[in-house]
Chain A
């Protein structure tokens, strides 16, 4: 319906603003985009799949935030089915399908089926089981989920309470939930969608000497049909349902499930590595699931590569909007009345929040790349069971997973707040990102918990080197620790900034030294002084982060030094390295001073160097740098972050023409029971739903 608002324009033209921004930087966006996104042909694949999705009305995201929980699931299921059909129609391979999931940007109710369920069967089922199950799984004839976490237990898998007791008479396993906290909980795709589940339960086998005594052999995976294929109702003895609303993941039916002495056949236990002999009831272990070690590193590299895209998305939105949005006039302008208000992105208080995050996206990229390269480079030795080359990387990867997902989760929120009021609005595009990504710091190993593994690894390493300082080094960490022990008594802090010049190499050394020093302190506290683990946890967490930062810095540095990029992109990338490094040092300068890594004179100078890097070196390229991350508007679903800068026009269009609340007239009079004007129905209708 036309009205007087149709012809209104914004006061400042966002389109022109972004055109000007792009004109003043000489960065070759396409070159940089391909540099960042060429692995697995991501760049071209994204273009191809985006085009198809944009043509399907079902995948329009416009109403997502208005829908109720049951409706979100409803639409989510419809999209999941449609994606499966598009896969068949266009002959998509697995990477195409993953790309589509990424672009749709909503967790599909089938998600656990084509991730953990499929993967577990592939890795842990015997050949016989695989031959039977994989065709059904691949063709979606059964839909599965993965039930490990319980109401009372998350990170600690050994603590699961569900039981699988072997009955030698009937040759069945009896799956049972002895307590309420044994209920499976949080398991995706389980609440309403799946008809099969991998259930992780404690395996109980009778003792050979006394058959009535059962021995616990630890958690094992079982495949269980949980719902009838025809009626889709759960079987007797199984209670399964959805666990209710969450902060995000609205379209996913995370579930709960309980068993009442539920019997499954011998074939239910996935038997690639561990097998119960049906005749003797004895557990035999064959081989070792060592390959998981390599897979885990690979999965973590994936998480890091994903975190770079998440953070880049938040930065794209915040930086583009920061360039378009104006607020207050420059206090030092000679004639304030004659100039427009300042773009928010020109405020150092905004730059200091956004530009280091932008630099972080590249730091994450180069570390993720390095991890992939090492992984694929040592793939042969991994397959033959030799993990020596991977050990260091594997340990680093758990710390990096923790640090990088925290970067991304916290960074999203920083970006959102940098946008002022509109960042709170549903059309910023950042809300679903925030809601869905915030689970990352706690899933697959709580970030605070897994850093302990890194610290424990470093303490052990340091202990070995201290005991035997002349043994041959196994990896670069050994080299570092040896160097540290030799020079610790004569160490003097180094300058990383002198006469305004940044010493890039010295920065890497400073990070390495700090990590070694903190490792030594942890070793001293735990091994020499026998400190209690629990009292050391905070110190160990900081150690893990310092060690992971060293990886980020040195990979970023290596990449910058041998950059294939043309000018001026290579120079800008170099400045981004400096910004990332110096800002990291500045935010923890005490630890660089206390470990004798950096002179206090250098630490004092950092804030001025950072300001100079931001305002003079990086700010002019900010828009083109985020452009290089090549986020399609379809993915962003954001008024504020649009490529073309039509921020206000788009926001108004969504609010005015696509907001269901505006189609209803309410009755505001408190004396009148009626809620919707003219409906006559009052509070009773509201109460009926409660």
Chain B
């Protein structure tokens, strides 16, 4: 039953109406959305998404309207119901893994089975022997056991070598003893562990014959399969509320000298021989290296999509929201200006819009490169291996991309003004759930050291004339050969020069850092800030390069006509010049550009924003993010912003069913809830 009287139901927002405004926006640009979406994501993925969406929308349990009202316990309960439902839908419709992942993405909240479906299964498959796969993987795949992946500890995150949990080999009865010797050895942050899982893949320091052999994975049953209570001497729980991810039961786990059989240690790469009691080392550790590279590439690609959700909401809402008259408008104009026409708003949003595509192209290119390399490695028995180059790229790009997306989402939220602070904007929740990406799979700041280490190594090889040829050594070599006559690149007239300027800056910073480390013998710790900047410069070069290379693919894709590639060229220029302007001191110091060029680039940025502005709404439309996924009043496709805000606030808000006693001298707090008397007191 509606709480609103008829006179309220009859009200409309003041004109112009949001849906009319978005219609105007869409008709003021001729960009063809469908072929563009197809170019970006492929027809098959778009259809898959459409089909999954139909199914999800027909299931009431996926209705998101109460998410933001619920407490922690209720949120988890609902999420568990959704996870179970999703699993049943997978079975019922015979969905592939790809479909399941799309469904999870559309549902939009972390679900309690997530770590089972991700890291647990992956670890069993990649690190288990055939016998172990049969024993664990086959049951896990059918969800007969539910697992999680327990690596991080209370006192240790990024530094895996520092883990405190131990697994000691007992030669007499051929078992391992798992133990947590300190409080800080407690496993911590482990998704799916707190309340859901009954198995865990546990990373622990293997100790054989008193000697430490480093961290290794063990599969352990942690809860009773019937009662779901923890087994003896195993202590588990949820770690409490968080900034985001509150639908997930991130957990802690402690062992009190728990014995587990020999088969528990995942032994595909290294193992303990039960006959000789000897530890047998892995033959090739770089395989794990490959998986991480792959995961980081997906993070890069996903960053574009994550940011696009925020940009879609902010761009659509700013096209509708009006504030103040134009200061230069003649007095006859009384209408206020759409916020998106303010250059100050464009300056915040349009470079981010450009970045969504830059990140998308870069992630895609990385993944293709990775797959190509895997193939050629198999064909050529490991020769011409690009993996070290790829690995370094993935570290730096992961840091840059997740940073760009996280920061960008907050910029989008603030660009929505006051309403951005409402849960109905949708953006705050995206940010809260996205932001741990900047810390996991390698903390962004820590990762930059690996990039620097790789670049320094490549630079040394170039200096010694013993480098193999890849993109990195190529631009370092170019820099060496021309550094006496520092060229000024014509960044405002030639796109290729823009890319070159980014390469030049990265090379210049690499050799500066090398000088400090090798010639001046500066301490590694004192160079970390330099390394951080160097890594950022290198990654920005990679995004700019990949963005640039994708322009020709857009050009040659026959379906796109001429206007779309032209707009994308502008997006590329905007992203690149905006980055150049915000990092201008690096560019000046390296001699890649002049002060005058930077001044001029600001004028060019203003022009580009003006030219991109008419296409803004269509460009976010091309991302094809459904209203179901956005769950946002401000970002609705149809522009009915205010109607939806009002509907959610007045009709879907449980607080409005409560009548209180406002007098401070009265003990009564709530007089009635949903029409029933309650008389709640202090």
A residues in contact (CB < 8 Å) with B = 3-5, 8-12, 58, 65-71, 73-74, 77-78, 80-82, 84-85, 110, 140, 143, 149, 151-156, 159, 161, 177-183, 186, 191-195, 231-233, 239, 241-249, 253, 256, 258, 260, 325-328, 330-332, 341-342, 346-350, 352, 413, 416-417, 420-421, 423-427, 431, 434, 438-439, 441-443, 446, 448-449, 532-538, 541, 586, 589-590, 593-594, 600, 603-604, 607, 611, 615, 648-649, 651-652, 654-656, 658-662, 664-670, 672-673, 675-677, 683, 686-687, 689-690
Contacts and interface: CB of A to CB of B under 8 A. Distances in A.
A71 B420 CA distance: 23
B418 A662 contact: no
Q: Which of A80, A325, A426, A686 has the most CB of B within 10 A?
A: A686
B12 to A, nearest CB: 6
B609 to A, nearest CB: 10
B73 A661 contact: yes
A439 B527 CA distance: 37
B73 A239 contact: no
B525 A331 contact: yes
Contacts of B382: none
B1 interface: no
B342 A70 contact: no
A159 to B, nearest CB: 6
B650 interface: yes
A233 B658 CA distance: 10
Given A421-B152, A661-B195, A655 B228 contact: no
Contacts of B324: 155-156, 159
Contacts of A690: 60-61, 63, 65-66, 78
Interface stretch (B35-43, B178-186, B307-315, B467-475): B178-186
B598 A590 contact: yes
Interface string B155-197: 1111100101000000000000000101111101100001111
B671 interface: yes
Nearest to A658: B240
B106 to A, nearest CB: 17
B646 interface: yes
Q: Which of B83, B184, B588, B658 has the most CB of A within 10 A?
A: B184
A190 B35 CA distance: 49
Interface stretch (B2-10, B357-365, B551-559): B2-10
B63 to A, nearest CB: 5
B655 interface: yes
Interface stretch (B45-53, B200-208, B432-440, B483-491): B432-440
Contacts of B180: 8
A10 B188 CA distance: 14
B268 interface: no
Task: State the 9 A-B residue pairs at the shortest beta-carbon distance, nearest first.
Answer: A68-B71, A426-B241, A245-B68, A65-B241, A245-B423, A84-B664, A8-B183, A179-B14, A537-B344
Given A242-B655, A327-B158, A590-B588, A667 B14 contact: no
B191 to A, nearest CB: 12
B244 interface: yes
Nearest to B66: A690
Q: Which of A69, A159, A439, A604 has the most CB of B within 10 A?
A: A69
Interface stretch (B93-101, B231-239, B620-628): B231-239
Contacts of A654: 240
Contacts of A423: 439
29 contacts: A3-B235, A10-B154, A68-B74, A69-B655, A70-B654, A73-B658, A81-B682, A156-B336, A161-B14, A180-B11, A180-B13, A192-B658, A246-B423, A258-B11, A349-B528, A424-B435, A425-B239, A441-B414, A533-B326, A534-B327, A535-B343, A537-B347, A603-B585, A661-B76, A661-B240, A665-B195, A673-B84, A683-B84, A686-B81
B34 interface: no
B279 interface: no
B130 interface: no
Contacts of A590: 584-585, 588, 595, 598
Contact of A78 (B5, B14, B88, B682): B682
B424 interface: yes
Given A241-B653, A424-B245, 19 more contacts: A4-B233, A4-B254, A5-B235, A65-B72, A69-B71, A70-B658, A180-B643, A232-B660, A246-B421, A348-B526, A413-B410, A424-B435, A442-B421, A594-B595, A659-B237, A666-B228, A683-B84, A689-B78, A690-B65
Given A84-B664, A232-B662, A434-B243, A11 B342 contact: no
B513 to A, nearest CB: 12
B664 A662 contact: no
A231 B663 CA distance: 12
Interface in B303-348: 321-324, 326-328, 336, 341-345, 347-348
A73 B656 CA distance: 12
Contacts of B439: 417, 420-421, 423-424
Contacts of B7: 260
Contacts of B120: none
Contacts of A421: 152, 157, 188-189, 436, 439-440
Contacts of B159: 327-328, 341
A675 B524 CA distance: 52
Contacts of A161: 14
Contacts of A593: 585, 588, 595
Given A232-B660, A244-B423, A538-B347, A666 B646 contact: no
A665 B84 contact: no
A424 B243 contact: yes
A11 B60 contact: no
B110 to A, nearest CB: 13
B370 interface: no
A477 to B, nearest CB: 23
B529 A611 contact: yes
A313 to B, nearest CB: 16
B637 interface: no
Interface in B592-651: 595, 598-599, 606, 642-643, 645-646, 648-650
B446 to A, nearest CB: 8
Nearest to A82: B682
Contacts of B252: 652, 655-656
Given A239-B8, A668-B198, A675-B81, A192 B88 contact: no
Interface string B281-294: 00000000000000
Contact of A330 (B11, B76, B525, B663): B525
B249 A661 contact: yes
B228 A662 contact: no
A67 B75 CA distance: 10
A648 B184 contact: yes
Contact of A73 (B76, B606, B655, B666): B655
Contact of B532 (A341, A349, A532, A686): A349
Q: Which of A12, A155, A180, A427 has the most CB of B within 10 A?
A: A180
B659 interface: yes
A435 to B, nearest CB: 8
Contacts of B70: 68-69, 689
A665 B223 CA distance: 11
Nearest to A662: B237
Contacts of A325: 155
Nearest to A666: B195
B386 interface: no
A448 to B, nearest CB: 5
B653 A242 contact: yes
Contacts of B525: 330-332, 342, 346-348
Contacts of B661: 232
Given A421-B436, A446-B417, A244 B183 contact: no
A244 B68 contact: yes
A326 B157 CA distance: 10
Contacts of A665: 195, 227-229
Given A11-B164, A58-B682, A535-B343, A151 B646 contact: yes
Contacts of A194: 662
